Structure 1
Amino acid sequence: MLQQVNELNEEKFVEAFGPLFEHSPWVAERAYRSRPFAARQDLISALEGAVWQADPAEQLALLRAHPDLGTRVRMTDQSVQEQAGAGLNQLTPDEYEQFLQLNKQYTEAFRFPFIMAVKGQTKETIREALKLRIRREAKEERSKALQEVCKIGRLRLDDILAKEGEGNAMTNRTERMMYYGKGDVWVYRSYAKPLTNLTLIPESGFTGRDNVLFGMNIKVAVSGESFITSFAAGDNTLVVATDSMKNFILRKAGEYDGATAEGFLAFACRKLLETYPQMTGVKMTADQVSFDVLPVPGEGGFESGNLVYRYGQNEHPKAMVELTRADDGIAVTDHEGGVADLKLIKVKGSSFAGFVRDEYTTLPESYDRPLFIFLDIAWSYEEIENALDSDLGRYVAAEQIRDIAHTVFHEQHSPSIQNLIYRIGQRALLRFPQLKEVRFESNNRTWETVLEQASAGEGKVFTEPRPPYGFQGFSMTRQDLESL
């Protein structure tokens, strides 16, 4: 699919994707400059990026290009179909008059029409959302409206892609998912190349790893159309046993002369593709094993022994690299660095208030609460070589991102976990301009308060929270630094 998209000239590209955004072909025109797209998400990001990077006047014009919901004004064919799907073309006279008045109040308040992705909605849920959003602050509602514009665009894009099997001009080929591999490949290498030459930042005292112990738990998946016979006919002629993959990875760990997990994964993936021509893609992920050096008595007091280590029990670095074989050779098509299972507790200085309150709400507002979060952070680079070769001096260590997270947590009174991870991402992108994107998955594990006041001092008493738990996901790019 993407190959055909990348081959479109600008005119055809705008013709295909311009209708995703109501009467605003300029969105597709600007997204076209980001070709080629390596993945569907890259196409989506380019389109949505054009929306968010537009100046306020252009954004306002885009919002004003949308029709009022439930009214009989001129609309694009897509809007007609979408509103009909939600039943807005079958309003009673009273319902029509109610929508007319609500839309008028909304437009007078915000200077643009009420916008909502109505797929899967009903006229009742749309009406209630309209009533709720009329009460928002102007800045908040404008951001929400732009989010809905992007959501509408994604849904319309899904409809375009769904037509590919019906003879869509861009492609008539269905891509098959087919892979197999090995998980829990535990690799321990002693005396690997030390990780040095890092960019030092004020939030972290981390200066590198000695890599005396370099451990990873690796998962490998291989793909290739040649393997179809093993699935369809039980013919294993071209199948490389997963046990062989395990042994291959273990042997290659002895040959690797680099210092980063990303570098080793890329090295091993490339070697697999070079060794087995029936493979056209290899993806490896790794959870690094953290080892803590134990201090021992020395002449000047306790010092690092560099001989005895303790298996780390807390957060750990992670990595992912994917390589693909093409006509012009083997190339990295996806990558990720990260830190997983980070657990941060702030005893006070966090709040959560101002959220929607209705008949379903039992949670009280809090203005100075303890906050306990589980946090996974991942990032990708503008140039993949910076992840693979630490000698370039632009590698970002998981320990540095970890330290940014707890520093921002310490510095700022966070009104929500969402805002906290946003500020962490901003700081990471500011400190490391070589990063392209930072992504988060967080869980709220805040303790329940049992006693508001201990018998002495300012202490309180807490217990573990009851399930279920809240979670947040978010990604951000360098564009988000503009709000600093």
Structure 2
Amino acid sequence: MFTMDDLNQMDTQTLTDTLGSIFEHSSWIAERSAALRPFSSLSDLHRKMTGIVKAADRETQLDLIKKHPRLGTKKTMSDDSVREQQNAGLSKLEQQEYEEFLMLNEHYYDRFGFPFILAVKGKTKQDIHQALLARLESERETEFQQALIEIYRIARFRLADIITEKGETQMKRTMSYGKGNVFAYRTFLKPLTGVKQIPESSFAGRSNTVVGVDVTCEIGGEAFLPSFTDGDNTLVVATDSMKNFIQRHLASYEGTTTEGFLHYVAHRFLDTYSHMDKITLTGEDIPFEAMPAYEEKELSTSRLVFRRSRNERSRSVLKAERSGNTITITEQYSEIMDLQLVKVSGNSFVGFIRDEYTTLPEDGNRPLFVYLNISWQYENTNDAYAFDPSRYVAAEQVRDLASTVFHELETPSIQNLIYHIGCRILARFPQLTDVSFQSQNHTWDTVVEEIPGSKGKVYTEPRPPYGFQHFTVTSEDAEKEKQKAAEKCRSLKA
């Protein structure tokens, strides 16, 4: 591996020898780039080398295109091309597959007058075959420009294989782009079964007969800098392509949960587009509930008709980064959002500071209406993907646990309520490290205090502003509550 300092200090011949294979059998590009030093980064070097090609006349560009081997061929080619085609599986084609590629490549060359070129890193032989079929339908000028774009991509991949930017001073900047509200629906996904049963919830799994997800995809990497600074879209993956990528991969996903789907898509993205450095995927479930059906003189649950639920929403977030050839999950959490719970009695709020600013009366028995966002993280992120369903924590179970604790607890404050909900969740699911809360107090304002002959009252919506709380409950908190409960039990027995 070489650094930018190494390249900037080389004589012209050494630089030409080092970078001569970046463009197939075209070391003249590396030789000319020597005059454009210093190179400030890998992206700067790539931009300057591709600029040399873009400035060349059309005959020279065509000659460069023709120097590339035909994909799937068994003829002699450069070491880089051999390695790239091997990684895509093109060196191990069955005889029938080889003959198919040979025929299509010949057809392509006869039609356009130059070989089919595709940056194959991260692609399978099926991907390549599909791209070849699709591009046979293009016009010649479109394919000429596309061939150059693919050559630029290949050059970027090859540069990344031999150059390290470690130790360089990089400008820290915000740089990412992506696609939001990517809606995808799938019928007959593999059912989620085998989840751990808990006393507080009847949840036993999901049929996954109809599954919906709203995905936001955000990608980043130094390779995208030229698209911002120079309007150079050579390495840009269109956000429309991101949408199609996500939707089509829902068809090939063989898991059972949104968390697992995000994990699958993140790896497929970074495997397919190796110039991406990082990706953040957010998936919000679009829940559907089975409707009643009257069959054979009996009311049952339909296996075909569902209604879209519009209550609380569950969401998953996953962040992944590339380091060399390794993809690392840097953050993963699941959450349930906008869970709205009201308990009509058994709630108090007393004993708070009273001074010249206080107008709120103390209340020993009030209705309490709370909005909750609850998120949870696993000690081992693999548990989130339901590879082992018994270690997966479902949003439905978190919802039911929150409701149960609210029912059981004589609530002195929202702060204490969310603390005990978190401890209960961690007690039931010790594979989690922590549970975090964002809560809001939406307790109603009283309109009629007393109704003759009834213990009821009349309320209206509260006026803003709303009180809120943020709190994280840890596994250490849950352990302390467990010890306190054990001590109380021993005390009662004594």
TM-score, normalised to structure 2's length?
0.62
Task: Confirm whether residue 480 of structure 1 aligns to residue 477 of structure 2.
Answer: yes
| Counterpart in the other structure of 2:158 | none
| Counterpart in the other structure of 1:314 | 311
Paired residue for 1:382, among 350, 363, 379?
A: 379
1:374 touches 1:445 (CA, 8 Å); kept in 2?
yes
Deviation at 1:298, TM superposition (A): 3.4
Give a deviation string over 1:192-234, Cα, whole Å, max 9, x none.
0111111100000111110111111110100111111112222
User: How far apart, CA to CA, are the structure 2 residues paired with 1:198 and 1:231?
Assistant: 47
| Counterpart in the other structure of 1:204 | 201
- 1:105-124 → structure 2 map (5 Å cutoff): none
Give a deviation string over 1:121-167, Cα, whole Å, max 9, x none.
xxxxxxxxxxxxxxxxxxxxxxxxxxxxxxxxxxxxxxxxxxxxxxx
| Counterpart in the other structure of 1:361 | 358
What secondary structure, in the 3-state scheme, does the structure 2 residue paired with 1:393 have? helix
User: How far apart, CA to CA, are the structure 1 residues paired with 2:387 and 2:337?
Assistant: 21
Task: Confirm whether residue 237 of structure 1 aligns to residue 250 of structure 2.
Answer: no
User: How far apart, CA to CA, are the structure 2 residues paired with 1:347 and 1:244?
Assistant: 50
Paired residue for 1:214, among 211, 216, 235?
A: 211
Paired residue for 1:336, among 316, 330, 333?
A: 333
User: How far apart, CA to CA, are the structure 2 residues paired with 1:211 and 1:336?
Assistant: 21
1:317 touches 1:339 (CA, 8 Å); kept in 2?
yes
What secondary structure, in the 3-state scheme, does the structure 1 residue paired with 2:200 have? coil
1:196 touches 1:390 (CA, 8 Å); kept in 2?
no
User: How far apart, CA to CA, are the structure 1 residues paired with 2:326 and 2:297?
Assistant: 55
| Counterpart in the other structure of 1:324 | 321
Identity %: 49
User: How far apart, CA to CA, are the structure 1 residues paired with 2:362 and 2:291?
Assistant: 44
User: How far apart, CA to CA, are the structure 2 residues paired with 1:210 and 1:289?
Assistant: 14
| Counterpart in the other structure of 2:452 | 455
| Counterpart in the other structure of 2:298 | 301
What secondary structure, in the 3-state scheme, does the structure 2 residue paired with 1:195 have? coil
Give a deviation string over 1:414-451, Cα, whole Å, max 9, x none.
11101100000000000001111111111111001111
| Counterpart in the other structure of 1:183 | 180
| Counterpart in the other structure of 1:399 | 396
Runs of 5+ consecutive residues of structure 1 not aligned to the other structure: 1-169
Task: Confirm whether residue 372 of structure 1 aligns to residue 369 of structure 2.
Answer: yes
2:335 touches 2:376 (CA, 8 Å); kept in 1?
yes
User: How far apart, CA to CA, are the structure 2 residues paired with 1:221 and 1:184?
Assistant: 12
Paired residue for 2:256, among 254, 259, 280?
A: 259
User: How far apart, CA to CA, are the structure 2 residues paired with 1:436 and 1:243?
Assistant: 37
Paired residue for 1:225, among 197, 222, 226?
A: 222
Q: Which amino acid aligns with 1:179?
A: S
| Matched residue count | 315
| Counterpart in the other structure of 2:265 | 268
User: How far apart, CA to CA, are the structure 2 residues paired with 1:299 and 1:363?
Assistant: 59
Give a deviation string over 1:215-269, Cα, whole Å, max 9, x none.
1111010011111111222211111111110011000010001001010011111
| Counterpart in the other structure of 1:441 | 438
| Counterpart in the other structure of 1:52 | none
User: How far apart, CA to CA, are the structure 1 residues paired with 2:258 and 2:328?
Assistant: 17
Deviation at 1:304, TM superposition (A): 1.2
What secondary structure, in the 3-state scheme, does the structure 2 residue paired with 1:237 have? coil
User: How far apart, CA to CA, are the structure 2 residues paired with 1:434 and 1:362?
Assistant: 44
What secondary structure, in the 3-state scheme, does the structure 1 residue paired with 2:388 have? helix
Structure 1 segments (4+ residues) deviating >6 Å: none
User: How far apart, CA to CA, are the structure 2 residues paired with 1:173 and 1:359?
Assistant: 54
Runs of 5+ consecutive residues of structure 2 not aligned to the other structure: 1-166, 482-494
Q: Which amino acid aligns with 1:361?
A: T
User: How far apart, CA to CA, are the structure 2 residues paired with 1:386 and 1:348?
Assistant: 38
| Counterpart in the other structure of 1:250 | 247
What secondary structure, in the 3-state scheme, does the structure 2 residue paired with 1:184 have? strand
1:219 touches 1:286 (CA, 8 Å); kept in 2?
yes
1:197 touches 1:390 (CA, 8 Å); kept in 2?
no
The change in CA–CA distance for 1:269 and 1:449 in structure 2 (over 3 A counts) is same
1:195 touches 1:390 (CA, 8 Å); kept in 2?
no
- Aligned Cα root-mean-square deviation (Å): 1.6
> Which protein has the larger Cα radius of gyration, Structure 1 or Structure 2?
2
The change in CA–CA distance for 1:463 and 1:171 in structure 2 (over 3 A counts) is farther
Greater alpha carbon shift after TM alignment, 327-336 vs 422-431: 327-336
User: How far apart, CA to CA, are the structure 1 residues paired with 2:200 and 2:337?
Assistant: 19
User: How far apart, CA to CA, are the structure 1 residues paired with 2:204 and 2:229?
Assistant: 52
